[in-house]
A and B are shown apart, each in its own frame.
Chain A
Amino acid sequence: MEQSQNLSVQKPKAQNPRLRMLKTMLERLLQNKLAVFGGVVTFLLIFTAIFAPWLAPHDPTEQNYSAVLQAPSIEYWFGTDNLGRDIFSRVIYGAQVSLQAGLISVGIALIIGVPVGLISGYYRGFIDEYIIMRMTDAMLSIPALVLALALAAVLGAGLTNAMIAIGLVLTPNFVRLIRGEVLAHREKEYVEAGKASGISDFSIILKHILPNTIAPIMVQATLAIAAAIIVEASLSYLGLGTQPPNPSWGSMLATGQGYLDSAPWIALFPGALIFITVISINLFGDGIRDMLDPKMK
């Protein structure tokens, strides 16, 4: 009771400097032109993905056998593929798949990684040192794509399974990051004080340690989304990700590779979109990192 009262009293006071900090942070972000560029493009991509049905001029799965392998034209801006489907529309819908894959797999990694990292770092001990940490070491020594590939093979082809596989593969990164942050914070005074005043471990972790780890988690998560998009595209390229006829940039690339000489647009457009998406998210993530802590660079 007492605590919550304290909090409510402190809040209005605390808000001002916080607001100011937020303002300077935003200013810092806006000064970083590349980050702004990345953010704007990322936003546009999210917008495109959400409003794909209204933006796409054609049904992305509609086949037109009389317009197979057409070069870009006014009717088909990015040309058509080997089944006469509109590549522009497929690329737009592909944004849905890629962004979804990036967000959900990172979400999975966070859901597993954050609690494990928090608990492991807070309690330390044998399980932390010899099981969890060595397990993350082991997972990190297997190349992410290889592990994702094997996991996706175990789970079966498909976007959902690919996202689970990617999420699992990304998890150890978050476990390590969060554990490191916890280790840095658990000896701090406010944690000691909390312990001394008999606050439960659970609320110390949740109320005191977790908020302090949010900034680095945000940065890592943003960059992990970019990585996840690449892995998803790789899995789809290898046929283990999104299943046809759903448009995925990776599988479009795989189809297009066979037509590089006769219909290069099939591969070039989705590939360019992967690149633009990943670089935008990376720039945006770098920007957030610099915003939160200019020295971290």
Chain B
Amino acid sequence: MDTAIAHAHQPPASFLRRYVFSIDHKVIAKQYLTLSLAMALIGGFTAYLIRWQLAWPETDIPGWGPIGPDNYDALITMHGTVMIFFVAMPFLLGGFGNFLIPLMIGADDMAFPRLNMTSFWMLFTASSLIVASMFVPGGPAAAGWTSYAPLSDNPIYTGVTWGQNLWILAVALEFASFLMGGINFLVTALNLRAPGMTLWRMPLMVWMELTAAVVFLLSVGPLVAGALMLLMDRTLGTGFFRPDRGGDPLLWEHLFWFFGHPEVYVVALPGFGIMLEVLPVFSRKPVFGYRMMVWSTLAAGLLSFLVWAHHMFVSGMDPRLATPFSVTTILISVPFAVLVFAMIATVWGGSIQFTSAMWFALGGLATFMIGGVTGIFLGSATTDIFLHGTYFVVAHFHYTLFPVTFFGGFAGVYYWYPKMFGRMMNEVLGKIHFLFTFIFFNAIFIPLFITGLRGNPRRLYEMSNYDFLKPMQSLHVIATIATIGLLLGQLPFVANFVLSMFFGKKAQDNPWHANTLEWATSSPPPFGNFAEPPTVYRDPYEYSVPGASQDWIAQTAPEPFITTVAAD
């Protein structure tokens, strides 16, 4: 854990050390971003295949051909695994966490730069494994992203042999990678803060990444053990999850969801963090109730460990467990209600600038609310009896994870792109991108809510076996067309992202007139981040302070009402 190199303020000379095996958190962050966007292509393409099959069963899918029921199971498994473990986490934690935490707290790098590099390359290996698993004999894992045993446990049930083993290895490696990454986040934010950067002056993004890191590293352990058990069941003939050998399938469900639910917040909190950085800047208004939000975040993080069994209400677990877990689950809506209300209050009374970043932040907030309220139906054990395992669940978790991952993530890209690459993105393309994303996303999942409420089970290869699903087919067609629209709607983003790197307008150090420390250095920041270590004098969100000479006061501004010229 030798940080000496990182502090020697000299970028390494060789190309390899500078761009490939770099220990500079900014380069590593860009590596994470690139990896996650590349994996998002796979995730998106699987979504396209799945949706096409559901709308027009067993037809030739343009660009692929027909898919069989076994391919379909593999596709949904890969879609879930890739999107959550290899897109959302690298995007929000690996990418933005790595880039922002040191910059926002005024550090020159992570606490353990080499560990940071190792984390990324472990994730890279894990991604390669999951991709490789799609091409092994027997096909990729096909037991769903939750890999419920015994379906995942015994090859005879799926015909999948190495695909599932590689899935386990890839996911385990991914866990190890983010475990080290999370430790790095924690130590960095607790130990490397610039003079004057007290905990209560940290931008909310840092708080969110911290909470996510703690929640992750405390929840993942049992599933690591579970993954090892599953692997031994498949390779050494043990029977941890096989009833015929004295094991118990429900054990896997418990171990999985003990991690699986906190994992949702591991992804959600950084997404909120991004929105909470973007909203005040473009409302020119302080975040509403900073400490209140920090406490709600910590409360949500803590509660996230007490709710996992709500994924198992009808799983056959002891029914007496249901009510306690309903209570905790529905209670968790309180801290999130505080966060959402406070976000609205942050915009309220502001002077709103509708930049692409702001559109995505607002759109994310608006759509996340749908995910939030529909969660209550599933959190109540009683209504979950009917809704569990239907498209209602599918729509619900897409309405929670998509807003934080993509609306939040895109908001972050449009907002921090100037800082990352030193150039501005094109606002017109950005707004077109938002319009497509917002409209088509809702057009996919609102129909799916309806089919879910009619009792449409998820993970069906095709539905012609069910008479009561026949009227639902048109809704599936709408969802599929919208999916294609959503995917095509990302082209403006891709073009914008690539072209702006070369033709974008040169970015000022602080183009948005924001207060937080990352804007107090050049765009892009030099190796070592700050010419001289910054000193922090004030809170991160002092916008439109009455009597101030301008509507923003950087955290580095020493005297009241006088802003540094460090920016511009």
Q: Do A and B bind each other?
A: no
* Chain B residues packing against A (C-beta within 8 Å): none
